[in-house]
Structure 1
Amino acid sequence: MKVYFQIQWKIINRHIKEADLNVLLAWVLASISFIGLSIILFSQYEYAKYLYVVLPLFFSIRIGDSKRNTFLKICYGVRKFRLLRLFESLFISIPFLTILVINQSFLVSSVLVVIISTLTLFERRSNFRFIVPTPFQKLPFEFIIGFRRSFLAVAIIYAITIISIKVDNFNLGLFSIGLSFLCTLSYYSFMEDKVYVWSHIKKPRGFLLKKIRVAAFCNSILYLPLIGLLSFFFYENIHQLLILYGLGLFFIVAIIFMKYSAFPKQAGLRESIVLSVTFYFPPIVLITFLYFYFQSLRSLSKVLK
Structure 2
Amino acid sequence: MKLYFQIQWSIINRHMKEAGLNIILAWILVSISFGGLSMLFFNKYEYAGYIYFAIPLFLSIRIADFKRNEFLRICYGDQKFHLIRLLENLMISVPFLIVLLISKAFLVSGLLLIFSSLLALLPWDSKFRFILPTPFKKRPFEFIVGFRKTFLVIVLNYAIAIIAVKVDNFNLGLFTLIVSFLISFSYYSFMEDEFYVWTHKDNPNRFLWDKIKVASVFNAILYLPLIILLSLFFPYNIYQILILYGVGVFFMMAVVFIKYSAFPEKVGLKESIVFSVTFYFPPLILITFPYFYFQSIKSLSKVLK
TM-score tier, shorter chain, comes to over 0.9
Give the Cα separation in 1 of the matches to 2:47 and 2:278. Answer: 23
SS of corresponding position for 2:173: helix
Query: Aligned pair 1:289/2:289, yes or no?
Result: yes
- Bigger shift: 160-169 or 190-199? 160-169
Counterparts of 1:88-99 in structure 2 under 5 Å?
88-99=88-99
Instruction: Kindly provide the amino acid, as one letter, of the partner of residue 53 in structure 1.
Output: F
Separation of aligned partners in 2, 1:282 and 1:45: 14
Q: Distance in 1 between matches of 2:47 and 2:90?
A: 22
Instruction: Quote the residue 1:71 is aligned against.
Output: 71
Q: Residues of 2 paired with 1:116 and 1:181: CA distance?
A: 22
Asked whether the 8 Å contact 1:66–1:123 carries over to 2, the reply is: no
TM-score, with structure 1 as normaliser: 0.93
Q: Report the 3-state secondary structure (helix = DSSP H, G, I; strand = E; otherwise coil) of the residue aligned with 1:178.
A: helix
Match of 2:16 in 1: 16
Q: Is 1:216–1:249's contact at 8 Å kept on the other side of the alignment?
A: yes
Q: Which runs of 5 or more residues in structure 2 are unaligned?
A: none
**What per-residue deviation string (whole Å, max 9, x for no partner) do you get for residues 124-165 of structure 1?**
125220122110133410110111111112112222222222
Structure 1: tracts of 5 or more residues without a match: none
Q: Report the CA distance shift for 1:55/1:139 in structure 2 as closer, same or farther (over 3 A).
A: same
Query: Given that residues 101 and 109 in structure 2 are in contact (C-alpha distance below 8 angstroms), is that contact kept between their aligned partners in structure 1?
Result: yes
Query: Comparing 151-160 with 53-62, which one deviates more in the overlay?
Result: 53-62
Q: Measure the CA separation in 2 of the matches of 1:62 and 1:284.
A: 27
Q: How does 1:14-53 map to 2 (within 5 A)?
A: 14-53=14-53
Which residue of structure 2 aligns with residue 279 of structure 1?
279
Over 3 Å counting, the alpha-carbon distance change for 1:108 and 1:240 in structure 2 is closer
Cα deviation digits, residues 241-296 of structure 1 (max 9, x gap): 11111110000001101111111111111112222333344443222111111110
Change (3 A) 1:143 1:59: same
Distance 2:276 2:82 in 1: 34
Q: Does the CA-based 8 Å contact 2:82-2:120 persist in structure 1?
A: yes
| 209-218 vs 171-180, greater mean Cα deviation | 171-180
Residues 139, 214 of structure 1: 8 Å contact kept = no
Paired residues, what number?
305
Measure, in 2, the Cα distance between the counterparts of 1:233 and 1:263. Answer: 43
Task: Output aligned runs, 1:1-305, within 5 Å.
Answer: 1-125=1-125, 127-305=127-305
Instruction: Provide the C-alpha distance between the structure 2 equivalents of 1:50 and 1:70, rounded to a whole number of angstroms.
Output: 32
Deviations 1:11-44 (A, max 9, x none): 1101111122221222222222322332133223
Equivalent position amino acid for 2:88 in 1? E
Counterpart-to-counterpart distance in 2, 1:232 and 1:122: 36
8 Å Cα contact 2:70-2:125 kept in structure 1: no
Deviation at residue 45 of structure 1 after TM alignment: 3.3
Whole-Å separation in 2 of the counterparts to 1:59 and 1:97:
14
Over 3 Å counting, the alpha-carbon distance change for 1:44 and 1:32 in structure 2 is same
Q: Give the TM-score taking structure 2 as reference length.
A: 0.93
* Aligned structure 1 segments of 4 or more residues deviating by more than 3 angstroms: 44-47, 279-284
Residues 170 and 142 from structure 1, CA distance in 2 versus in 1: closer, same or farther, beyond 3 angstroms? same
Q: Which moved more, 1:294-303 or 1:111-120?
A: 111-120
Change (3 A) 1:219 1:45: same
How many percent of aligned residue pairs carry the same amino acid?
Answer: 64
Distance 2:295 2:235 in 1: 41
Distance in 2 (CA, whole Å) between partners of 1:229 and 1:70 is 40
C-alpha RMSD of the superposition: 1.9
Q: 1:79 and 1:131, CA in 2 relative to 1: closer, same or farther beyond 3 A? A: same
8 Å CA contact 2:41–2:280 kept in 1: the answer is: no
Verify the 8 A CA contact 1:56 1:92 in the aligned structure 2: yes
Q: Please state how far the C-alpha of 1:82 moved relative to its aligned partner.
A: 2.7
How far residue 64 of structure 1 moved from its aligned partner, in angstroms, is 2.6
